[in-house]
Chains A and B, each alone.
Chain A
Amino acid sequence: MSASKILLVVLTVALFGAGIFFILRGKPARRTAQAEGEKIALPVHPPAPPKPEEVQRKVEQIFKGAVMLASERDRYFFAGDFNGDGLQDLAVFIKPKPQGLTIVNSKFANWILEDPFVEPHIKPNQGLLRTALREQAVRAEQNDVLLAIIHGYGPEAWRSPMAQQTFLVRKAAGSGVYPEAFSEALLRPQTRLLMTGPKMDVIRETLADKPGFLYWTGAKYAWHS
């Protein structure tokens, strides 16, 4: 056996031994305090207003051809921080394509379809949910105009490919739609809103001849008139 081979054997054995040592030794317990991070990365510059072509791309990314833009509306998209996390979200009116309605209503769709006038309730027969199937409390219909609100993520906010959390709101296609910063003025009607903070923008509009606004409750978009 040559000296180089012997040396190779020695080194292998030594490395093997050292490897066993470090594997079994495990990670040392740490006294470190709290981890940092997980803070919202806010954009450096105010985000630019959304453009039709990037809105189209975003809708395509989320809905994968199941819907089309409701571009006949005067203002069919706009941006704002609707969930109050400091990031710009995109709101866009859409319509299910004829072949897309099933996808929009799918039990495994990647969005939450909701009615702003209704709080979700447990159906008596849901009991302990012995099935994984999703009980669809709200269903879209073929002629619906739906408001898709896509929440922002990271510095690119709604433009980020990672931004996919989408709430699809029925019965929200009113008139005179525009985003508005939440302010004390909205509290004047002496009403109590179930909400988690006054930092978000709301969506002002008139629905069924009643002016009001859509707002984020922390769990869903609700209507206040």
Chain B
Amino acid sequence: MKLPFLLALAILVAALAVVAVSNTIVQRQIAYAQSADENALDPNSVGILAAAEAPTGFDNQTNGFTDQTTFLADRAAFDQTENITDGLGPVYNAQSCRECHQNPTSGAISQVRELRAGHLDGSGNFVGATVTLHNSSGTPVVIANRSLINQRAICPGVDLAQGFNFPNDFAQERISTAETIVTPRTSLNVLGDGFLEAIANGTITNLATTQCNQTGGAICGLAISVPVLEAPGQTRIGRFGWKNQMSSLLSFSSDAYLNEMGITNRLNPNEVTTLCDIIADPEDKTGTDGLQDIDHFSRFMRATKAPPRDATLVNNPDVLTGQQLFHQVGCDICHVSSLTTAPPGTVINGGAFTVPAALGNKTIHPFSDLLLHDVGTGDNIVQNGGPDSGHRMRTPPLWGVRMRNELMHDGRSTTFFDSILRHGGAATPVTNNFRSLSDADKNRLIKFLLSL
């Protein structure tokens, strides 16, 4: 009598376990589909939902977020050259988005390095640079507490005959010796950024917690919450820019339009300086389609494919071994190889954007955890992240890194080998693992990087 009873009991327990698993799967799928709270979402930690590979390519084709005609029109806006009559300046770094994001196609990287400066106050807190310009009467015009130093200006202090609107006004920014922090910053790739935007907050915070636990507290990325400009009062975990200072692509577009090109817009309506400013603000006007330039820029970035691997190297045996070494050494603790975007329907950006089918539930390979780390290369500059972010930089996504020949945030490493050796601070144990590899294996790991 006991045998049948016990067998039945065992079957019952197993059946209950199967039912529980099934319920868990269903519940999670429902929760993921219906949840509007991206903070609770981390598809990567569940491993149940089947995600499709995100499209990759340097082919100027849409990823499906928009149709191809719209994509090309948005790219044209991204590529468009702006002039003084469009609102360019007074201080600026480039005349179009493409100047800083183009190699090998619109949206990718470039050789452009912007300049940042500032100093530490008596308490050790970072203070952005103070720059003094001069108007035609010689009166100082001050730009205070701003770490970005624009390298171009529309009024060079010349006479009227030379055709400038503001003769004798001089808006070229110069750094004083009081600014003891002066550092370059390389421009970043924006291809595939729509997928990064669609990464849920919960994914990023889980990465931070997991890596910290796994390394006994040695490597603990910092996630910071930053304002979402298009959703006043709302914040989201930052993921764009070397300091993770932006969390949405519309916010990023608006910030760059003002600070890199000097064009005010509805989310950043005030000029950096009014010296030489003649165009009424906001300078970004609404077009016949009801959209402004910043809307086109963000829609273009959302529709771009992720950078592809080098087709000639991706299956090379050395590269495949190098990929294993990349994991074995521990590079992928921070340069995380695979992430899954939030499911379609997830509301992000403080309620201002809903993840569409083209961007949702996609597996991407950015080789980044989107967190801020101190690997000994920090520049002391604080933007949106508070004092603890001064020594930290975002783990740069390595997708498309083969298109760079000036590496790290300052572009001051010219080989992959040197850039690896520059990783100190929290990355020291990982870098030491690299040091202990044979020359042949070091070479294989670098070949893998060259394939990204």
Contacts and interface: CB of A to CB of B under 8 A. Distances in A.
Interface string A1-43: 1010011011001101110110011111111111111111000
Contacts of A121: 414
A26 B212 contact: no
B413 A219 contact: yes
Contact of B222 (A34, A194, A199): A34
Contacts of A133: 443
Interface in A56-75: none
Contact-size category for A:
35 or more
Contacts of A24: 21, 24-25, 48
B40 interface: yes
A120 interface: yes
A24 B218 CA distance: 29
B405 A127 contact: yes
A97 B329 CA distance: 31
B431 to A, nearest CB: 7
B318 to A, nearest CB: 8
Contacts of A99: none
Contact of B450 (A37, A130, A137): A130
Interface string B167-189: 00000000101101111100000
A105 B62 CA distance: 47
Interface stretch (A47-55, A140-148, A184-192, A202-210): A184-192
Interface in B86-136: 119-120
Contact of B16 (A17, A107, A217): A17
Contacts of B48: 24, 26
Contact of B446 (A38, A126, A132, A219): A132
Nearest to A106: B439
Nearest to B216: A37
Contacts of B377: 218-219
B349 interface: no
Nearest to A85: B376
A121 B412 CA distance: 8
A92 to B, nearest CB: 18
Interface stretch (B6-14, B137-145, B357-365): B6-14
B417 A21 contact: no
Contact of A29 (B11, B14, B17, B40): B40
A98 interface: no
A88 interface: no
Contacts of A27: 45-46, 206
Choose among B7, B177, B223, B439 the residue with the greatest number of A CB atoms under 10 Å from its CB.
Answer: B177
Contacts of B46: 26-27, 29
Contacts of A10: 6-7, 9-10, 13
Interface in B169-222: 175, 177-178, 180-184, 202, 205-206, 208-209, 211-212, 217-222
Contacts of A34: 205, 208, 222-224
A6 B405 contact: no
B442 interface: yes
Interface stretch (B76-84, B275-283, B291-299, B419-427): B419-427
Contact of B416 (A32, A120, A129, A198): A129
A68 B405 CA distance: 35
Contact of B414 (A120, A162, A164, A197): A120
B447 interface: yes
B52 to A, nearest CB: 19
A220 interface: yes
A187 B177 contact: yes
A193 B182 contact: yes
Given A38-B426, A194-B183, A122 B405 contact: yes
Given A13-B13, A13-B14, A17-B14, A111 B421 contact: yes
A213 interface: no
B403 interface: yes
Contacts of B428: 153, 162-165
Interface in B31-77: 39-42, 45-48
B219 A38 contact: yes
B327 interface: no
Contacts of A117: none
A192 B211 CA distance: 39
Contacts of A127: 405
18 contacts: A6-B2, A10-B9, A13-B13, A21-B17, A27-B45, A27-B46, A29-B42, A35-B212, A35-B220, A83-B424, A108-B443, A112-B421, A128-B403, A132-B417, A134-B418, A192-B175, A219-B412, A220-B412
Given A27-B46, A29-B45, 10 more contacts: A24-B21, A26-B48, A29-B42, A29-B46, A38-B426, A111-B421, A129-B405, A132-B444, A163-B428, A218-B410
4 cross-chain pairs, A with B, having the tightest CB-CB distances, nearest first: A17-B17, A37-B220, A35-B208, A219-B412
